[in-house]
Structure formats: C-alpha cells, structure tokens
C-alpha cells in the first residue's frame, strides 16, 4: 500500500470522530455485524413460505436501498440458478412476467422510482415482496396483501446495507433462484466483529482503514473491482460521495484495461486521482495479474495506488469485510474533510425541487 505525502493532523480516534460526526453515523457502520443478524430475524418475522419463480428475481431499489441487490448477486456468484437482476429506475425490465419475483426495496418507503416499479410489477402479475421501514410502499403492500420484510428504523438508507442485502439473499432463496445463505451470514457477522476491533475508532492510527483514509485524502479516488468486488467498488464510491462529500468513481476489471487505463496516463493534468484495487482471494489468476500490471502502469500518474484484499472464507465474509472497510474509510475521510457524514443536502435539495415541480 502506498500513501501520498499529505498526512492530515486530525486524529481519527473516538473522541475526535464523535465531535465531527454529530449524528453518529460511525456507530451504524460499527453495527453492521449486528445488522446482519437482525436482518435474518426480520426476514423470519415476515413468515414467508417458499415459492417457485422460473423467471428469477428482480430487485428494484435506488441508492442505499438498491445496493443490496447488487451485492447479493455478487455474493451468490455461480451459485445463482436463475437470473437475478437489480434495477434502479422507474421501470422494470421488459421481460418481467408473472413467473418473475420482484423485490421492491426502499428504506423510507417513499422512493418514487421504487413505487413505480411496485405498481408495474402488480400490473404484469409478478410475485411481489417489499423490504422497507415503512412509508407509502409498506402501506400499499399491506393493502394489496404483499408481504413486507421490515427494516430497523432510525438509520440513513445507506446504513441499512446489511438489511437490504440479506433481504435480497433470502428472497432469492425463497423464490428458487439461489441456495440459502443463512449459516454463511451468521458466520460473517462473527467475523466482522473481529474486523471492527481491527479497523474501528479504537484501533491505532496505523490500522488499515485509517491509513487508507489518510492516503486517499486530498485526491479523487477511483475504485476498481472485478467479480465479487465489482459491486463493492460501486459501494465504496457512493459511500465516499455521501459521507465524505467528495467525488469518487468506480470501475470494473478487466473492462477498464480496454479504455480507462489510457486516460490515467495524463491524470496529473486534471487533478489528483488515487487508484484503489479491491482484490478478492477468489479472483482468477488473470484478474490478479491485471491488478498488478494496471497498478504498475497507472502509479506514475496517480496520487496514490492501493491494493485492498478481502478477508474471510465464504463470499459473504469476503464481501462484507470490504463493505465494512469501505464504510469506515468513508467516515474517516469525512472527518479529514471536516464534513458531517450524516448530511445529504444536495439530495434533499434535488428531492425538494422534484416535488416543487409536481
């Protein structure tokens, strides 16, 4: 791991982070292990019986509520036996039929795109399931006899990543699109508790999460993933966007080696860009070789280059190890940027403008 010459003097300890994080977003990140366990219980509380959807599963959701479908698909990998697709727009795929299950995920229950997908799924006669903490979506679901998987309240939607991912994994199993991952989720929760100790606010300043945040500070991170880590790279990007209030971008290997790598050769003309490569132990040798070579090529123009390995045995463990690390890095970056990770003023302004136009 390389770092830039900039070393901010802000201490990333619990006291300083509490001062810079008035809504305590850090606590929600540290609670991801418990969120995984609670998410399983909440799926059980919905009392869903298995059914068969030959058309597979569509997960409709936006932002923090939509990432769970992407992560679930990545975690399942070649264990998925039927199509599993995430959509983040107003419409379902045109091939959605009554043989398809549609999971509509919206933490607030008021996301207009997800509400539109809920209505569209009803029109085509698809099997519907809702995952939400309440709002209009839950009201409509209960009125129409659609089962609701509840989320814990009081969170920012992006902090509910464990809930929405577990909901997607469990619904995939219930509709016959994939095997159940209950045991793997339980084991992953135990594993993440150890990583919280290693990377959390009480760890030393030399801990990986804090060193990485300092290395990325003052630059625009570009996070690359492949296979399992492709969706996690996107999660890192969005968490840095929302928590740290700074630009960040995500890319996919091997695709970026066919285009983006050329742009890196002149990156210094346009600003300070850092390259982060998420490296999974289950990557193919070709991907591992591409990470090494790509890093070698871009590092002369990058403000910093970093290879970040996943931890754990199962795909659930490895995926959530990187989710946890990325979430912590984003909160630490917020502190270094002197930003409140809880506020999302630009999104609030956009929503207000959309409603004003109605």
Query: Among 112, 299, 339, 351, which one carries the catalytic annotation?
Result: 351
Residue found by looking up tokens 């795109």 in the block: 113
Q: Which of 260, 238, 258, 257 is nearest to 249 (CA)?
A: 238
- Torsion of the alpha carbons at 199, 25, 40 and 323, rounded to the nearest 10: -40
Contacts of residue 332, Cβ cutoff 8 Å, sequence gap at least 6: 12, 17, 209, 210, 213, 214
3-state secondary structure of 311: coil
What's the CA gap between 355 and 349, in Å, rounded? 10
State the DSSP string of 174-219: HTTSS---HHHHHHHHHHHHHHHHHHSTTS-TTSHHHHHHHHHTTS
Beta strands in 61-171 (DSSP E): 84-87, 101-106, 127-132, 148-150
In the residue annotation, 351 being an active-site residue is answered as yes
Catalytic choice (113, 184, 242, 317): 242
Q: Cis link prior to 137 (omega < 30° from 0)?
A: no
Integer Cα distance of 192 and 197 in angstroms = 9
Q: How far apart are CA 346 and CA 167, in angstroms?
A: 28
| CA–CA gap between residue 171 and residue 179 (Å, rounded) | 10
User: What is the token pair recorded at 56?
Assistant: 């597979």
Query: Which position among 258, 317, 339, 358 bears the catalytic label?
Result: 258
Q: How many CA atoms lie within 13 A of 327 on its CB side?
A: 27
Q: Both tokens of residue 312?
A: 């754990």
Report helix, strand or coil for 41. Answer: helix
Known active-site residue 35? no
Return d(Cα 10, Cα 16) in angstroms, integer.
8
* Alpha-carbon gap, residue 169 to 172, rounded angstroms: 5
Residues serving a catalytic function are 242, 258, 351
């Amino acid at each position: 791991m390389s770092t830039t010459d900039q070393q901010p003097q802000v201490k990333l300890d619990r006291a300083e982070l509490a001062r810079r994080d008035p809504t305590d977003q850090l606590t929600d990140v540290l609670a991801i292990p418990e969120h995984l366990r609670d998410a399983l219980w909440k799926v059980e509380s919905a009392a869903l019986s298995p059914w068969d959807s030959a058309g597979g599963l569509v997960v409709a959701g936006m932002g923090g509520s939509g990432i769970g479908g992407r992560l679930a698909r990545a975690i399942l990998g070649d264990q998925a036996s039927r199509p599993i697709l995430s959509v983040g727009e107003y419409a379902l795929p045109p091939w959605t039929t009554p043989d398809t299950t549609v999971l509509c995920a919206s933490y607030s229950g008021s996301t207009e795109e997800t509400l539109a997908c809920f209505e569209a799924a009803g029109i085509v006669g698809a099997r519907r399931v809702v995952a939400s903490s309440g709002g209009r979506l839950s009201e409509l679901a209960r009125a129409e006899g659609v089962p609701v998987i509840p989320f814990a309240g009081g969170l920012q939607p992006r902090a509910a990543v464990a809930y929405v991912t577990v909901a997607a994994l469990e619904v995939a199993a219930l509709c016959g699109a994939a095997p159940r991952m209950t045991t793997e989720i339980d084991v992953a929760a135990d594993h993440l508790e150890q990583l919280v100790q290693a990377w959390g606010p009480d760890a030393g300043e030399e801990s990986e999460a804090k060193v990485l945040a300092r290395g990325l500070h003052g630059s625009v991170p570009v996070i690359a993933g492949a296979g399992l880590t492709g969706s996690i790279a996107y999660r890192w990007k969005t968490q840095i966007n929302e928590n740290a209030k700074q630009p960040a971008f995500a890319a996919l290997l091997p695709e970026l080696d066919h285009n983006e790598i050329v742009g890196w050769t002149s990156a210094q003309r346009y600003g300070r860009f850092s390259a982060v490569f998420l490296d999974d132990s289950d990557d193919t040798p070709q991907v591992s070789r591409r990470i090494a070579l790509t890093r070698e090529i871009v590092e002369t123009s990058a403000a910093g280059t970093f290879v970040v390995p996943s931890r754990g045995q199962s795909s659930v463990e490895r995926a959530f190890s990187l989710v946890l690390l990325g979430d912590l890095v984003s909160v630490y970056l917020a502190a270094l940027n002197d930003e409140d990770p809880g506020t999302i003023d630009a999104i609030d302004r956009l929503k207000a403008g959309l409603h004003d136009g109605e």
